[in-house]
Structure formats: C-alpha cells, structure tokens
Amino acid sequence: MDLGKVFRALADDSRRQVVAELAADTEDRERACGSFDLPVKKAARTHHFRVLREAGMIMQRDHGNGSAVSLPRQDIERHLPGLLQLLSEELKSGSATGRTGNTAAG
Amino acid sequence: MDLGKVFRALADDSRRQVVAELAADTEDRERACGSFDLPVKKAARTHHFRVLREAGMIMQRDHGNGSAVSLPRQDIERHLPGLLQLLSEELKSGSATGRTGNTAAG
DNA sequence: TCCTAGGTATGATTTGCATCATACCTGGGC
DNA sequence: GCCCAGGTATGATGCAAATCATACCTAGGA
C-alpha cells in the first residue's frame, strides 16, 4: 500500500466522505455508487471512485447496469491501522459532509 | 484538527518524509530545517514547512539566523492516534525517501 | 563593514487535479 | 426496437499546488 496514494486520495472531501461512510457501517455492506450524496456530477464521481480504488480504499463491483462499492476493511486495518477510525469519527462530527473544505472549479 | 489539511499536507512525499523522520525519533528532538535531505531548493522547503505548520504537524521555532522544527507528538496522538506510527513505518521501509511519488516542475 | 549561511517573501512557470459537458455503453421496461 | 437510468471515457477548463530564480533579512565571523 502506497501511503502517498492513500493520502492523496483522502485529501479530497468527497472521497473522504465516501470512505468514512463505508467505514462507519460496521456491517461492511456494499453500497451503490449513486447512494452517496456527493456535490458533484456523474463524471466526477466516477473519477473519485477510480482514485479510491487505485489507492486500495474501496473495492468496486460491476453490475453491468450499475456498480457498487465496498470497504476492504481487513486489508486497510492491516496496513493502515487506525485510519478508518479517524475517518468515521470525522464523519460523526460532521466535518466532511459539511463541505467546508476544498472545491476547485465551480 | 482538520483532517483535510492533514491529508493534503501528508500527500506530498517531501512533507511526509519530514514528519516521518520527526516521528521516528522517540526523543522528539528539535531538528534544524536544513537537516532534512529534501530534493528541493530552499524556497520550496520553506513552503513545505509552512504547509506542515498550518496543518498542525510540526512546530517551528525561529532562531533568527536559522529555524528548527519539532513534533507536537502528544497533540497529534490525541487527535490522530496511529498516524505517526504509520509514517515512521513507511520511513523504515524506505518508501518516502525513495522518491517514487510526485514531483511537479523539475 | 564585508562576506557567508540559513530562512523567508515574491513573482513566474509548470504540473496536477477537480470539475463539467458531451458522447458512449449496458441493462431493464415498454 | 425505443427510451431511460446508472456508469464510464474523453476533452476542455479553471484552480490549486509545487517548484524555481531572485531578492531580501538576520546572525556570526573576519
């Protein structure tokens, strides 16, 4: 696991929100890509999921008509212990969903 | 502590190297800014220290003629438990110093 | 005072990234 | 077959960030 890729992936609010929501679900349920309330259009969302996938932060499964993501929790916990805890705690305190961070073109 | 700022700060290899080296020193000794072997010129180094400082990852003390940085370990551990451990382990495996990551203008 | 050395501030340049619009693909329903 | 809906791929655009060169500041030594 490349820490650089991981931190670059988690530097974005939308991506951090995705991982945080997955991490906050202790049952590790698979979620549809569209089920995340992200303030971006489809294409950008696809981009974010790609970055997260390449950083090893999510697994993505193709349904043909749609696709779903899930959290490789054990893998992450083994290589980056404590990380998911940080993310889900940020989610609870409302920082990531509050949209206080970076937004580029808008 | 803003997780966005922290991750953005640690997304850069040079900055991650600085924090990792500080974290790897269990005695938390203060280090001169110039003592880090970073592949950038003076001005860029100053920039990196500024980013780390604003993310709360280092403390910086001005000597007039020079300046030194140290690690607010307790503060970081309290807000981001486990993070310093990740960084210092990456350092031991040689990833951050190996310059495999991002370089912009060169 | 002059020179040297470490840091900082500023301006310019370049690269990377986030975003969008658009077009395309796939599967389901009619 | 046709249309719709969810995702993806591509190209363009704009902003942020990383870097450098240069100039400047501060402290120490000759």
Measured distance CA(A53)–CA(A55) in Å, rounded: 5
Task: Give the per-residue pLDDT at B98.
Answer: 38
For the ranges A3-12, A18-27, B60-69, B94-103, the lowest mean pLDDT is seen at: B94-103
* CA nearest to A90 within chain B: B3
The ranges of chain A with pLDDT < 50 are 96-106
Average pLDDT over residues B71-90: 95
Beta bridge partners of A61: A68
Task: Name every chain A residue with its beta carbon within 8 A of the beta carbon of B8.
Answer: 11, 102
- Which of A2, A6, A7, A100 best probes binding to B when mutated, by most B CB atoms within 10 angstroms? A7
Task: Give the per-residue pLDDT at B95.
Answer: 53
Q: For chains A and B, count residue pairs whose Cβ atoms are closer than 8 Å.
A: 62
Tokens for B83? 């993070």
Three-state secondary structure call for residue A72: coil
* CA nearest to A76 within chain B: B86
For residues A18 and A69, the answer to whether their CB atoms sit within 8 Å is yes
Residue B106's pLDDT band, with cuts at 50, 70 and 90, is very low
A4 touches strand C (CB under 7 A): no
Candidates 3.30.450.20, 3.40.640.10, 1.10.275.10, 1.10.10.10; correct CATH number of A3-93? 1.10.10.10
Task: Name every chain B residue with its beta carbon within 8 A of the beta carbon of A90.
Answer: 3
Dmax over Cα atoms in chain A, in whole Å? 38
Candidates B8, B35, B7, B23; CA nearest to B89 is B23
Residue B19 CB coordination number (10 Å) = 25
Residue B15, amino acid: R
Q: Do B95 and A16 touch (CB under 8 A)?
A: no
Candidates A83, A106, A98; CA nearest to A13 is A98
Task: Give the per-residue pLDDT at B102.
Answer: 44
Nucleotide nearest to B36 (CA to C1'): C6
Beta bridge partners of B67: B62
- Which of B7, B19, B88, B99 best probes binding to A when mutated, by most A CB atoms within 10 angstroms? B7
Q: Which of residues 25-84 of B touch strand C (CB under 7 A)?
A: 32-34, 42-43, 45-46, 49-50, 60, 62, 65-68
For residue B55, pLDDT over 80 is answered with yes
Task: Give the per-residue pLDDT at A75.
Answer: 96
What are the extents of the domains in chain B? 3-93
pLDDT digits (tens, 9 = 90+) for A20-38: 999 999 999 999 999 999 9
